[in-house]
Amino acid sequence: MKHVLVLHGPNLNLLGRREKAVYGTASLKTINAGIMKFATKERMQVEIRQSNLEGELVSWIQEANTKFDGIVINPAGYTHTSVAIRDAIAAVDIPTVEVHLTNIYKREEFRHHSYIAGVAIGQISGFGPAGYVLGLRALTEHLKSARIPSAR
Ligand code: CA2
């Protein structure tokens, strides 16, 4: 059974309470329930955490290296600012999928650049809460097809 860490970045705890026109009406609790429902159906073990603190996210990514098979992360605002989160993802041996609720390329110019994209196996952007499930699916397929090192 694959173990996946799902990380939500800063301000995502406010989902469903503020800026509903941009981020939708679903709360983080509801989104997490959808993630766990998918995980149960697919027989994956998923742990979900949210933090508003960059350093905490960095520590969780580092720790995930020995405890999880992969990471699905919505780095939220840190997507566009954090070399530290990028470096943490680059430093671990497990794959990471980057998820965004909104299509960051249809929004303000400053959201068009992601520090995370270059170290993630891929990015899912613009599909709302379904993006997390798509991210888990993409990660699972990647883990299944990952090359088994040859004994030669
Ligand atoms: O589309 C996404 O998922 C984002 O990662 C969300 C971030 C934003 O900075 C990225 O550019 C795109 C913002 C998350 C803040 O979420 C809020 C939710 C409700 C109210 C206020 C903020």
pLDDT tens digits, 24-58? 999 999 999 999 999 999 999 999 999 999 999 99
- Which structural domain range is residue 107 located in? 3-146
Domain count along the chain = 1
Which ligand 1 atom is at minimum distance from the Cα of 111? Answer: 11
List b or e across 109-131, with b for residues whose CB sees 16 or more CB atoms inside 10 angstroms.
eebeebbbeebbeebbbebebeb
Pocket residues for ligand 1 (CB within 6 Å)? Answer: 11-12, 14-15, 18-19, 23, 74, 76-77, 79, 100-102, 104, 111
The predicted-structure confidence for 85-141, as pLDDT tens digits, reads as follows 999 999 999 999 999 999 999 999 999 999 999 999 999 999 999 999 999 999 999
- The pTM of this model reads 0.96
Residue 130 covered by a domain: yes
Local confidence band at 150 (pLDDT 50, 70, 90 cut-offs): low
Expressed in angstroms and rounded, the spacing between residue 8 Cα and the centre of ligand 1 is: 10
152, part of any domain? no
Q: Is residue 42 part of a domain?
A: yes
Here the CATH number for the domain that contains residue 130 is: 3.40.50.9100
Ligand 1 atom nearest to CA at 102: 1
